[in-house]
Amino acid sequence: MAHRDCPRTAASGGNGYTEKNHSRAAPTRPMTQLDPRSLIAMAGLMAALMAVVLYFMRRYYPPSIQGIGYWAGAPLMWLLATVMFSGRGVFPDLFSMVVANTLLLVGTTAFYIGCRRFLGHGGGWRLWGSVAALSALLFAWLTYGYSSYPLRLGSFTALMICIHAANLRFLLRHGGKRFPVRLVEVVLVLHIAVLAVRLSTTLVGRAGNDLMEPSLYQTLYIGAYVLTVLMLSIGAVLMATDRLTTELNHLATHDALTHTLNRRALLDRFEEELARSQRTGKGPALMMLDLDHFKAVNDTRGHQHGDAVLVHFVQRAQAVLRRPDRLGRYGGEEFVVLLPETGAQNAQAVAQRIHAAATSGHALDCQLSIGLTTWLGPQDTLDAMLARADKALYQAKAQGRNQTCVA
């Protein structure tokens, strides 16, 4: 027979009491939160790491990649700023407020100037450096003269938005479409948006009373700053590495003196064009060029003068070539020109323009002989075209030089 459990009753001194089973709740473990000071320390650690990385990149990357020094200086400034912010209450306000905020602006300015130098532009430092210097006076006044955390925060945020916006505008106009630049642009846009929200909350009186106040707003804003420091530094590393890769590829495919395609790269382009001709039915023309009496130029005027003649010739020839045409140095004073989808008549017109450009009256002008051939059909090969062009070139030399022969 089933029965119910009843409360147990016990008597003590005539007074009865009911003993109830109470379930004791387990103590709640407080949720671990990253306070502003911890986030600032994290930002300092990231800034220190990226400063070291960019410093060594500056030392070992070629000097042609400019701007890395400014990029290395930016996280260093951010690191010093985070150290001073973390010392709020220990360091004097001059360092933990005035100098710290100024260093953040100087570091952001240095990153902007690094982007300008990287893309081959000067300027910018005088204007924004002056802004950063004047901001130090503003922060000092808002700390010691008219002490106001909201005003100091709003002024700093507005200035940071201005520097980011100037950098973003510059990159959009001059940075191109490569991924590292796009990454930096996205980071700048996102941080500008976060700063705009922070500025708006400051204007409506929700800025808080102190940077170290453990509020949700401060945690989000400082967390966004931590990510910005990291991602901007990573963007700088990627931009410099991408440029280094581009330069190495250029060295591997271009002649060091004339900066035209070297022999290997030129023949690869020919093979690609011949493969395309198999699909389209429209083949290329090939010209082999040789500067007349170039050995005598080296012997009588010296090799430096001879190098100057080669560079001058390449500049003049490229000025009259069409956009899809490719000029490459085949060896010594010999050059080869690839003319995609070009028949004999159009190819001869290009050869005439090259002759005219090479003898325009400049002190470094020279005469040249040209051997020309065109694609004969799907059975034609690169070796066969080179052989015909070489034969036509020797025919031009045998007939008195400074002319074009067709094979």
**Same structural domain, 77 and 224:** yes
Domain final residue pick, 208, 229, 253: 253
Dist CA 336 CA 109 (whole Å): 48
Q: Is residue 16 part of a domain?
A: no
What predicted TM-score, i.e. pTM, was given to this entire model?
Answer: 0.77
Number of domains in the chain: 2
**Same structural domain, 267 and 240:** no
Per-residue pLDDT for the chain (407 aa), expressed as one digit of tens each? Answer: 444 344 444 444 443 433 334 444 444 434 345 677 777 888 888 888 899 999 999 999 999 999 999 999 999 999 998 888 887 778 888 888 889 899 999 999 999 999 999 999 987 778 887 888 888 898 889 888 888 888 888 899 999 999 999 999 999 999 999 999 999 999 999 999 999 998 988 888 776 666 666 667 777 888 888 899 999 999 999 999 999 999 999 999 999 999 999 999 999 999 999 999 999 989 999 999 999 999 898 889 999 999 999 999 999 999 999 999 999 999 999 999 999 999 999 999 999 999 999 888 887 888 999 999 999 999 999 999 999 999 999 999 999 999 999 98
Look at residue 327 and give its three-state secondary structure: strand
Q: Is residue 6 part of a domain?
A: no
Cα angle: 373, vertex 379, 380; to 5 degrees: 20
**Same structural domain, 220 and 93:** yes
**Same structural domain, 365 and 286:** yes
**Same structural domain, 98 and 243:** yes
Domain final residue pick, 221, 253, 285: 253
**Same structural domain, 268 and 221:** no
Domain final residue pick, 189, 220, 253: 253
Q: Is residue 235 part of a domain?
A: yes
Q: Is 361 left (phi over 0), alpha (psi -120 to 50) or beta?
A: left
How far is the CA of 123 from the CAs of 58, 113, 360, in angstroms? 20, 8, 38
Q: What is the pLDDT of residue 211?
A: 64
**Same structural domain, 279 and 238:** no
Q: Which helix (H) or strand (E) holds 395?
A: helix 382-398
Residue 390, token pair as written in the block: 């070489």
**Same structural domain, 214 and 74:** yes
**Same structural domain, 339 and 190:** no
How far is the CA of 332 from the CAs of 229, 285, 405, in angstroms? 50, 22, 21
Domain interval for residue 329: 263-406
- Diameter of the chain by CA atoms? 140
Q: Is residue 269 part of a domain?
A: yes
How far is the CA of 395 from the CAs of 161, 369, 375, 391, in angstroms? 68, 9, 19, 6
Q: Is residue 8 part of a domain?
A: no
Residue 72, token pair as written in the block: 């290395």
Q: Is residue 18 part of a domain?
A: no
CATH of the domain at 355: 3.30.70.270
Strand partners, 261: 254, 328
Q: What is the pLDDT of residue 29?
A: 39
CATH of the domain at 110: 1.20.1070.10
**Same structural domain, 249 and 268:** no
Q: What is the pLDDT of residue 212?
A: 65
DSSP symbols for 105-162: HHHHHHHHHHHHHHTT----HHHHHHHHHHHHHHHHIIIIIS--HHHHHHHHHHHHHH
Q: What is the pLDDT of residue 208?
A: 64
The single residue listed with the structure tokens 């590393």 is 237
Spatial strand order in the sheet of 334-339: 326-331, 334-339, 285-291, 368-374, 404-406
Q: What is the pLDDT of residue 207?
A: 63
